[in-house]
Amino acid sequence: MCDKLSIFLSSTVLTALIAAIVTYVNFNKEARLKRITDERMKWRDSIRKIANQLTVAENGKRKEVFLVLTKLQLLINPNGKFDNTNIMSDGHIWELIDEIKKEEEINQEKIELLVLYLSALLKFDWERAKAEVKVSFFKCIKKCLIKKRYNNLVAKIQNKENNTCAKEETK
């Protein structure tokens, strides 16, 4: 009887220990995901505010636009500054910011293009956040598809801009 009792107690303790470990790991995973999700929500709100500030900035307020662009630079991927060919590192956004800052007057078309890029970035981040929250066997595949869609969207925006510039040059 003593052997049965010790086996029962040891299996109960082992089961409780495994359950505690699993609970601890799941809790930490959920807490980490919540913190990341909350921070990304704040980041998206900051990007929206910047896009709004750029949209309503008056043409003569070049200093104000520069200040907003500097705030934007602090929120996007700094690797894009050195690799403007990589869409995933926000290179296209850095390139456009540099173009806007070099011009004497604020170019409203470039501001609108920047806001369009920021809209695409926000959409990409939102889709990525939704994919991370969902528990899925195919999560990695879904992340790759979301990146592909973002790359395609930015390419469409760039092609549209290039076509518009080409039409203006032929006039």
Look up residue 50 and give its amino acid. I
Residues of the domain holding 162: 2-170
- Spatial CA neighbour of 144 closest among 124, 164, 163: 124
As for how many domains the chain has, the answer is: 1
Q: Give 15-73 pLDDT, tens digit per residue.
A: 888 888 888 888 887 788 788 888 989 999 999 999 999 888 766 688 888 999 999 99
Q: Give the single-character DSSP code of 104.
A: S
Q: Give 117-138 pLDDT, tens digit per residue.
A: 999 999 999 888 887 777 666 6
| Burial bucket for residue 69 (CB in 10 Å: 0-12, 13-18, 19+) | buried
% of residues, the chain, pLDDT over 90: 28
Within 10 Å of residue 124's Cβ, how many Cβ atoms?
A: 19
